[in-house]
Structure 1
Amino acid sequence: MKKPLLILIIPFLSFGQGWEQIFGANTTGSGYYGTSAQQVQDGGYIVCGGTHFTQSVLFGMTPSDICIFKTDSNGEEQWSKTFGSEYWDGNEYWDFGKSIQQTTDGGYVIAGYVNGFGMGGGNAYLLKVDNNGEEQWSQIFDFGIAEAVQQTTDGGYIITGYDSSDIYLLKTDENGEQQWSQTFEESFNDRAMFVQQTTDGGYIMTGCTSVINSLGNATTDIYLAKINANGEQQWSQIFGGPGNDKAHCVQQTTDGGYIITGEDEEDIYNPANDFWVANTDVYLIKTNELGQEEWAQRFGEAGNDGGRSVQQTSDGGYIIAGYVAPGENQNSNIYLLKTNDNGEEQWSQTFGGAGDETAQSVQQTSDGGYIIAAHTSTTNNISNGVYLIKTDAQGNTPSTNITETPTTNKSLIKKIDVLGREATNKGFQLHIYDDGAVEKKYIIK
């Protein structure tokens, strides 16, 4: 039996650049959500998001805290931190981290929101921590949600987000003190999801805005705006069709243009039920330096699919992360898509199990692979966890299946890791059964 087992282990080890880790998932109804990840100076990774607890005394709501995980290059946790506000009577409320970046001093800056300040809803939040995750300072701003943050070339920070109807863009100094802010109102329901400083010292921002389509219905279109260094709009562009279209990420490209990803909605006729169903696709748009469309591509499966993060890769192409659902009303899986410089698909990968998984960010790593931040739910959506995935240059990891228990009646006789050692903890394992079968599994405990 040793010989066949060795043959099975070798291909499992061949994907040495890839791994998958889940943080915070359990079976108590609580869990964690991952929203943003980045490779950092020591070769490890930083990821942020939010915790999620089962109940709250206040109004019966489910509170959360901002969470940060730091890992080594293999995805093993080195430390984790949580940060949260308290409501006026001492009860925890809903706080969430949406974006994280390593700063030039080796620490980290996190943008998100806290709801514990003000009865009317959330407030945008900016948090600075040192390289060990210890808080250095925090700032609260008078708008609803901060979706993205980036350190600027002067050492300060640019933040974008929105409240109930308007887009906000806010610039701070290195201590998070506000220098200026601008409000943008294209329509009655606008949202900004991402901002990046551009090579001219200004900013590119994307999100969505409400429009009235040709049928007289209110829908959303993709919004792209170029802002100068003082926060003044230079131009804006709208993209979309008759359905609800949204952008989640934009990056300036090496030719001075921009690449955008999000969701494009269209109505698809369902002959079995004799009605039209609104389905979304992953949407990829390339523009020139003035935001004028050069090309657009759509990707996905039969269900609702979407792009959440995009980056230009070292070969001039693009990597997109998001989600795909194989059919109508089915749970989604994480979707990783690589294209060439014209947006034509080169390869794609999916990750996930029986629960619901969505990728929120992707970045090319120093070895040519990719790091993905996502959230995952266990079977029957009992619990959620931060899902951190490291792939090789082709999007491969040791396994893409998440299972918790054997799926047949055969008897399990041994659990080993990829080196043949007895495995008792969570993570990737080889399960050997009495009928000779060997299965790769990811165990969540």
Structure 2
Amino acid sequence: MFISLKNLGKRAFVVLVLFVLCAVLPAAVSASADSGNSSGEWMKEFSLEDGSVAAVWQMSDGDIVAAGSGENGSEIFGLGPDGNISWKKDIGGGENSSAVFVQESPLGGLYLFTSDEELVKTDDSGNVEWTYRQPYGVISSIEVADNGNVLMAGDYLQSFLIMISPEGNETWNKTLDTPDGGGQYRLSSVQQMSDGEFVVAGYINPIMYTENYRGFMMKINEEGNVSWAKQYKYKDSAMITTVAPLEDGGLAAGLNKITEGASDNNTEIVPYILITDSGGYQKTMFNVPGVEVVYYVTEAPDKGFYMLGTEENTLAGSDEYEYKLLKTDNAGSLEVSKSFGETRINSLQQTLNGEILMAGSDTGSGNGVIIKIMPGDLEKETNSSKSPGFGYVIAVLGAVCAAAIRLKK
């Protein structure tokens, strides 16, 4: 599908088409309402008066916690099995602060990241144990390691990586050098691999308008030393927006190609899933059907893939988008496409019992939304992984659209 350049500067969020919502989420929700069915699928919407919700995580004991903001700033919410709020805990930061990431620590307690660029560690009840203040730049991705360390990736004048210990101390802080071929690294995703090392992914901004964007991935060890680095160059610009380790040791990356359209001054954005071996060498790549930008991918239990993406909503208007959850087999054949309309999904977790737990926001009302889907419900509609990151949808769309605009200048 083509995106007209005259629309790229406008808001990239969908305005919900009523019959799409009715087809996908039969019981449309209002503020503080909920919808569900007997199979265990439910959706909860939290009004701004209840407190905004940005991320959600199911603990190893089955409890569900959500992160967001309330009257006094950043908050943690405890949720019951039906999605209703059972408790709240202020974690501070001022009335404009919001917790935008939450994940359980392997050593117990919770890690949160806030809009104040602070990493916060709490106990299981939400009591703050320590806070690490990010000194500069903007964090784009966080990975909680198996040993309780936290790796944060971000961008400033140059991109950087910071490792934080379970006690809240900075273990190391490294700035990435200029990439081979010139340009500037921009980090999108960091994940721990099965061997305990980490993969860092993103794209290279060439700076020069005459050159293409390039996707990249690099593997680093626990000390931040580079094991290997690969660039993914094509005749078109390419940007990697997400990466996921595979059980066989390889990697799956969401790669969006950006090309100049053939007519009408349009630019085409085509999403792919790039599959590599454990050394980052490309094995195959397949087009992602039904969306224009893919911003999250993870391996499904059957070795297929779950993906989050956006598609232009031509029924609502050429500058408006809808958000989708997709499921493909391991060869890229589409099995499931579930639209959430104007609900922008920011957080996705595959729980220990195979459920899909998501958090996002209704871009029309601004209300927070938490959704639980059973895999069986997904299958009926069309015949342990990590969060994609806080504010990540906006950042990805902004970067891809900015690149598309630049190609025409």
Q: Cα distance 1:206–1:80, how it changes in 2: closer, same or farther (>3 A)?
A: farther
User: Given that residues 335 and 348 in structure 1 are in contact (C-alpha distance below 8 angstroms), is that contact kept between their aligned partners in structure 2?
Assistant: yes
Does the 8 Å contact 2:186/2:205 carry over to 1? no
Q: Unpaired segments of 5 or more residues in structure 2?
A: 1-25, 28-34, 382-409
Alignment partner of 1:345 out of 334, 342, 366? 334
**CA contact 1:139–1:176 (8 Å) conserved in 2:** yes
Please, what is the CA RMSD of the aligned residues? 3.3
Paired residue type of 1:198: M
Larger % of helix: which?
A: 2
Counterpart residue number, 2:176: 184
Secondary structure of the structure 2 residue equivalent to 1:128: strand
TM-score by structure 1 length?
0.68
| Distance change (3 Å), C-alpha of 1:168 and 1:175 | same
Counterpart of 1:239 in structure 2 is 232
1:308-361 Cα offsets, whole Å, 9 max, x none, are 222211111111123222236342222111111223222211112xxx432223
Gapped regions of structure 1 (runs ≥ 5): 1-7, 54-63, 87-91, 115-123, 400-445
Which runs of structure 2 are paired with 1:100-179 in the superposition (5 Å)? Answer: 100-114=102-116, 124-163=117-156, 165-179=157-171
User: What is the CA-CA distance between 1:50 and the residue it aligns to?
Assistant: 5.9
Distance 1:83 1:207, change over 3 A: farther
Matches of 1:145 and 1:76, distance apart in 2: 32
Query: Which of 1 and 2 has higher RCO (CA within 8 Å, sep 6+)?
Result: 2
Tell me the CA shift for residue 251 of structure 1. 1.7
String of CA shifts for 1:66-99, please: whole Å, max 9, x gaps: 444332232222234455546xxxxx66x45443
Distance apart, 1:126 and its partner CA: 0.9
Report the equivalent of 1:17: 40
Report whether the alignment pairs 1:312 with 2:277. Answer: no
Alignment CA distance shift 1:127-1:347 (3 Å): same
> What per-residue deviation string (whole Å, max 9, x for no partner) do you get for residues 95-119 of structure 1?
45443211134421023552xxxxx
Contact in 1 for aligned 2:113/2:119 (Cα 8 Å): yes
Which moves more between the two structures, 74-83 or 222-231? 74-83
> Contact 1:318–1:338 (CA<8 Å) still a contact in 2?
yes
Tell me how far apart the structure 2 counterparts of residues 386 and 310 of structure 1 sit (CA, whole Å).
Answer: 22
Shift of 1:255: 1.0
Q: C-alpha deviations, 1:20-42, integer Å up to 9, x for none?
A: 1122347xxx98462x4332223
What is the rounded CA distance, in whole Å, between the counterparts of 2:330 and 2:232 in structure 1?
20
Name the CA shift for 1:39/1:323 in 2 (closer, same or farther; >3 Å): farther
Distance 1:386 1:134 in 2: 23
Assess if the C-alpha contact under 8 Å between 2:286 and 2:332 holds in 1.
Answer: yes
Check if 1:194 corresponds to 2:185.
Answer: no
What's the offset of the Cα at 1:234? Answer: 1.6
The equivalent residue for 2:370 is 388
Judge conservation of contact 1:321–1:360 (CA < 8 Å) in 2.
no
With over 3 angstroms needed to count, the CA separation of the structure-2 counterparts of 1:81 and 1:308, relative to structure 1, is farther
1:41 aligned to 2:60? yes
Between the aligned partners of 2:65 and 2:81, the Cα distance in structure 1 is 10
Given residue 357 of structure 2, which amino acid in structure 1 is its aligned partner? Answer: I
Q: 1:359/1:280 Cα in 2 relative to 1: closer, same or farther (>3 Å)?
A: farther
- Determine the C-alpha separation between the residues in 2 that align with 1:299 and 1:105: 37
| CA distance 1:228–1:31, change in 2 (3 Å) | same
357 and 39 in structure 1: CA distance in 2 versus 1, 3 angstrom threshold? same
Cα distance in 1, alignment partners of residues 147 and 51 from structure 2: 37
CA spacing shift, 1:155–1:247, aligned 2, 3 Å: same
Taking the aligned partners of 2:53 and 2:257, their CA distance within structure 1 comes to 25
Distance in 2 separating the partners of 1:107 and 1:390: 23
SS at match of 1:275: coil
Shift, 1:242, TM fit: 5.6
Q: TM-score, normalised by structure 2?
A: 0.73
Q: What amino acid sits opposite 1:73 in the alignment?
A: P
1:256 aligns with 2:275: no
2:57–2:64 CA contact under 8 A, matched in 1 = yes
The amino acid across from 2:46 in the alignment is F
